[in-house]
Amino acid sequence: LDHPWFKDRQEAWVTTCTNCHSESFARAMLSQIDNGTKQGLAVEQEAKKVVNALYDEGLLVGQKTNRPAPPAPEKDAAGGFYGLFWAKGNNPSAVDRVYTEMWEHDLIKLYKGLAHLNPGNYTYSNGWAKLIGDYAEIMDADTQLREKAALEKRVAKLEGKLKTSFLDFNSNTNQAALGGVGGGLLLLGTLGFALSRRREKPTE
């Protein structure tokens, strides 16, 4: 919005608006549109970083097991536009879909509401409120998916330790355990032998 093209357009709108309104009123309304749009973009861009990070790290639901490629010429992407019109397996995932709605629909509704001076419906109810709802869903999903991934790593690490520990016959613990098992088997064998000899002993 700081690009010279936008500045030129703003001045053109000031000229148009001052046919009916004061210049100060026109500039205040146009600044309100720009500032509100920038705030909406800031929320959307923060959510975009989170969704892209989940995608880059392979943490989206089903991303490694059930994410078919979208129809050509579309390319798989986090929150891709195709997710509004096509779905297969876990593509798009719920997080993808929420983010696509966020940047394609809800952000535009905020801008349109601001530009048409419609504060009650599009600016807040269908614009800003929707953006905040999208943001909350994405942040919740980010926390849940990362906690799940961390738990899976911990479980895998513990399973690896258990397997390694059980097969490590050089460790003192396993030597003691194996010694205990061996001693128990030896004792059972001795008792079994004694009982069998007792049965074989002829009665007088």
CA–CA distance, 115 with 118 (Å, rounded to integer): 8
Q: Which of the four pLDDT bands, split at 50, 70 and 90, describes residue 200? A: low
149 and 172 share a domain? no
101 and 187 share a domain? no
CA–CA distance, 53 with 58 (Å, rounded to integer): 8
CA–CA distance, 100 with 35 (Å, rounded to integer): 23
129 and 99 share a domain? yes
Q: Whose structure tokens read 């849940």? A: 144
Q: What value, to the nearest 5°, has the Cα angle with vertex 125 and ends 123 and 131?
A: 80
Task: Answer whether residue 183 is part of any domain.
Answer: yes
99 and 172 share a domain? no
50 and 116 share a domain? yes
pLDDT, average across residues 10-24: 94
- Please tell me the total count of domains within the chain: 2
117 and 35 share a domain? yes
Convert the pLDDT of each residue in 57-98 to its tens digit. Answer: 999 999 999 999 999 999 999 999 999 999 999 999 999 999
Q: Is a pLDDT exceeding 80 seen at residue 54?
A: yes
135 and 181 share a domain? no
94 and 49 share a domain? yes
Q: What CATH number has the domain bearing residue 123?
A: 1.20.850.10
53 and 90 share a domain? yes
CA–CA distance, 197 with 189 (Å, rounded to integer): 12
Percent of the chain with pLDDT over 90: 65
187 and 94 share a domain? no
103 and 35 share a domain? yes
Task: Answer whether residue 179 is part of any domain.
Answer: yes
Domain that holds residue 188: 168-204
42 and 141 share a domain? yes
Q: Is residue 66 within 8 Å of residue 88, measured between CB atoms?
A: no
Task: Please give the model's pTM, rounded to 2 decimal places.
Answer: 0.75
Q: How many CB atoms lie within 10 A of CB 88?
A: 12
Q: Which of the four pLDDT bands, split at 50, 70 and 90, describes residue 182? A: low
Task: Answer whether residue 5 is part of any domain.
Answer: no
Convert the pLDDT of each residue in 103-125 to its tens digit. Answer: 999 999 999 999 888 877 778 88
CA–CA distance, 190 with 29 (Å, rounded to integer): 98
Task: Answer whether residue 12 is part of any domain.
Answer: no
